[in-house]
Structure 1
Amino acid sequence: MLPRFATLLAGLSLTGLAQAAATQYPLTVENCGLPQTFAQAPERAVTIGQAGTEMLYALGLGDKLVGTSLWFNNVLPEFQAQNDKVERLADNDPSFEAVVGKRPQLVAVQFEWMVGPQGSVGTREQFSELKIPTYLLPSDCEGKDNLVGADGTRLQPFKVDSIYKSISQLATIFDVQDRGVALNADLQARLDKAKRQLAGKDLSGTSALFWFSSADLATDPYVAGRQGVADFMLQTLGVRNVVESHEEWPTVGWETLAKANPTWLIIARMDRRRFPADDYRKKLEFLRNDPVARNMDAVKNNRIVILDADAMQAGIRLFRGLETLSTAIATGKAPE
């Protein structure tokens, strides 16, 4: 459990601010258009996606997890002890058989392309037939069409409230509502801190580009489009995204990106190795040697911020990413 969160939880409990009625079972939760019913607090859960995994760890529910999958980064150090006790079913996509083989009473899913109409793991109906409730993080279904574009297209801007909603609903499902209140309060405080660091600064001429990865370093990179999670980070801090597509992670050519000439470059650090550019060091080497990319002001002036890939996703790391990015922009220096 996060140290700050544990302290805040204790304080909230003492003052009675976090006292919530116990969950009444059976509990039905409306989730991404489908009602999911829980006869009791799940004793066995599987996660498909790091964001959901670390949410449950942050809620102190590591002992309820029997399997995890889809990891972009190594687990946060404060959750290492919990994570060491849980089987990793796959670094990327687990098989349907591997998930159901753990006999879960809940499957928490980060992306609809994993469990959805065209899910690479399975459909929600397949799990429902086995009486296994699925919980899809609202951030990936609300205001988004996941059947358009490789990673879906935003129909409405991402809302940070969807993260708070996930935490509150998961806390209710597991009957740990007080922990959900405390965790959300801690995350909201982190967001407010990031915004305060830039309060009063004129950022009207400041722009940025998020580079997630590339299928091949010789091809167009996957960058953050408008209205998604990464764009929300920039909007929160008052910085313009140079990419105009509403796809979550569209591919855009370096000539176009160099012409936009962003003030800051934010590149993803990953421990997974699905694509060559998952290695942030290869990204840096490319930026400093490519005849087009190396001419961008952000590269020439070393305004390159390295963030964990999961800090660009709808999970608890997003708030740490906001703090890191805010500090860099406020000081004009990339973190060492």
Structure 2
Amino acid sequence: MTLRSLFGAVAICGLAAGMAQATDYPLSIENCGQTLVFDSAPERVVTIGQSTTEMLYALGLGEQVQGTSVWFNDVLPEFAEVNARIERLADNHPGFESVMAKEPQLVTTQFEFHVGPQGAVGTREQFNELGAQVYAMPADCVGKDNLVGGDGARTSEFSIESMYRAVRELAQIFDVEERGAVLEAELRGRVDAAVAKAGELGAEGKTAVVWFSSPDLALDPFVAGQNGIAGYVLKTIGLRNVVESDEEWPSVGWETIASADPDYIIIARMDRRRFAADDYEVKLDYLKTDPVTSRMAAVRDGRIIIVDAHQIHAGIRIPSGIETVVAGIEAGGAQE
């Protein structure tokens, strides 16, 4: 971020904080087709998904969080102390009973896959019946059909506004709107600065592919489609995604990707190990040794950029994801 951008962000944060108002209860929030009503700020929350966990931490609400689950990467360093005091119910899907054992008034979920019409953890109705309301990240239901299986299908392009909406709504639910306004302004300022930097580097029009993972290295990889969050990151920087599918994470053959010969290959680094390719070093080794991928110019020239998986999910890390890709472009290759 340039000095001018930094001063601008500080000014915006100050203005935003001055405009924030206290929550007027009872509060009604429309969330993914449901109406949530709060008579007061929840005192006990369980999070299902790293996005809402870190968002609540960033809003200064760690004391209200009773349990967390579904982690892609280690928690951000600035939240390590508060996170260490909170029980991790599961690295991946928690059990319904383990969530409710914490007696939450509110359950936040990153994906409707976990809590939704066909929830792997439970349905909204199951939680509601036991006194817990459910707040789902708007990014996972606005312009998205989650009834088609897997990661769902985007019916329109992801907009970062849905992430900012979550910041505002959670801040309102917990009566910390001033903190929410400051956080939103800071995140917007970082995106603006990173986009400006990408323009200075001449990123506009260059091509890229984002490899998230693969269920098996012998199978087609899961890569970013046009309409998902990773696709948004590329478009915001000015990069053209060589994958034309509108799905969030379609599987596309390496022969097809290699024929497009993208200028940059972006790979996700994560701490989960559902698949062998969750390990970014496995991805790097595959790219460099496979007969098809090793011939790609981006592999030969080292134009491979590593991003944390959570930087390309709907949360407060999206700006850092944009910053990481821009830094990789500037460096001409991997940023570890």
- Shifted more, 19-28 versus 113-122: the winner is 19-28
2:3 match: none
Structure 1 contact 144–156 (Cα < 8 Å) conserved: yes
2:20 match: 20
- Is the alpha carbon distance of 1:160 and 1:46 closer, same or farther for their aligned partners in structure 2, counting shifts above 3 Å? same
Structure 2 contact 72–271 (Cα < 8 Å) conserved: yes
Q: Matched residues in 1 for 2:13 and 2:197: separation? A: 30
The 3-state SS of whatever aligns with 1:198 is helix
Report the alpha carbon displacement of residue 117 of structure 1 after superposing the two structures with TM.
0.7
Report the alpha carbon displacement of residue 11 of structure 1 after superposing the two structures with TM.
7.4
Is 1:145 the counterpart of 2:131 in the alignment?
Answer: no
1:272 match: 272
2:303 match: 303
Report the alpha carbon displacement of residue 131 of structure 1 after superposing the two structures with TM.
2.3
- Is the alpha carbon distance of 1:55 and 1:17 closer, same or farther for their aligned partners in structure 2, counting shifts above 3 Å? closer
> Residue type matched to 2:221 in 1?
P
- Is the alpha carbon distance of 1:202 and 1:12 closer, same or farther for their aligned partners in structure 2, counting shifts above 3 Å? closer
**Identity in percent:** 55
Q: Matched residues in 2 for 1:29 and 1:9: separation? A: 28
The gaps in structure 1 that reach 5 residues or longer are 1-6
Is 1:159 the counterpart of 2:159 in the alignment?
Answer: yes
Q: Matched residues in 2 for 1:223 and 1:13: separation? A: 35
How do 1:1-336 and structure 2 match up within 5 A? 17-199=17-199, 202-203=202-203, 205-336=205-336
> Residue type matched to 1:57 in 2?
Y
The 3-state SS of whatever aligns with 2:28 is strand
Report the alpha carbon displacement of residue 326 of structure 1 after superposing the two structures with TM.
1.3
TM-score relative to the length of structure 2: 0.94
The 3-state SS of whatever aligns with 1:302 is coil
Structure 1 contact 47–67 (Cα < 8 Å) conserved: yes
- Is the alpha carbon distance of 1:265 and 1:149 closer, same or farther for their aligned partners in structure 2, counting shifts above 3 Å? farther
Report the alpha carbon displacement of residue 9 of structure 1 after superposing the two structures with TM.
11
Q: Could you list the per-position Cα deviations for residues 220-268 of structure 1 after superposition, in whole angstroms to 9, with x for gaps in the alignment? A: 1111111110000011011101111111111111111111111101111
The 3-state SS of whatever aligns with 1:199 is helix
TM-score relative to the length of structure 1: 0.94
The gaps in structure 2 that reach 5 residues or longer are 1-6
Q: Matched residues in 2 for 1:93 and 1:31: separation? A: 22
- Is the alpha carbon distance of 1:188 and 1:90 closer, same or farther for their aligned partners in structure 2, counting shifts above 3 Å? same
Structure 2 contact 12–185 (Cα < 8 Å) conserved: no
Structure 1 contact 208–265 (Cα < 8 Å) conserved: yes
Moved runs in structure 1, 4+ residues, more than 6 A?
7-16
1:3 match: none
Report the alpha carbon displacement of residue 14 of structure 1 after superposing the two structures with TM.
6.8
The 3-state SS of whatever aligns with 1:298 is helix
Taking only aligned residues, the RMSD between alpha carbons, in angstroms, comes to 1.9
- Is the alpha carbon distance of 1:153 and 1:26 closer, same or farther for their aligned partners in structure 2, counting shifts above 3 Å? same
Q: Matched residues in 1 for 2:264 and 2:64: separation? A: 41
The 3-state SS of whatever aligns with 1:306 is strand
Q: Matched residues in 2 for 1:75 and 1:33: separation? A: 30
> Residue type matched to 1:238 in 2?
G
Number of residue-to-residue matches in the alignment: 330
The 3-state SS of whatever aligns with 2:234 is helix
Report the alpha carbon displacement of residue 165 of structure 1 after superposing the two structures with TM.
0.3
Q: Matched residues in 1 for 2:15 and 2:277: separation? A: 49
Report the alpha carbon displacement of residue 13 of structure 1 after superposing the two structures with TM.
8.5
Report the alpha carbon displacement of residue 169 of structure 1 after superposing the two structures with TM.
0.2
Structure 1 contact 208–266 (Cα < 8 Å) conserved: yes
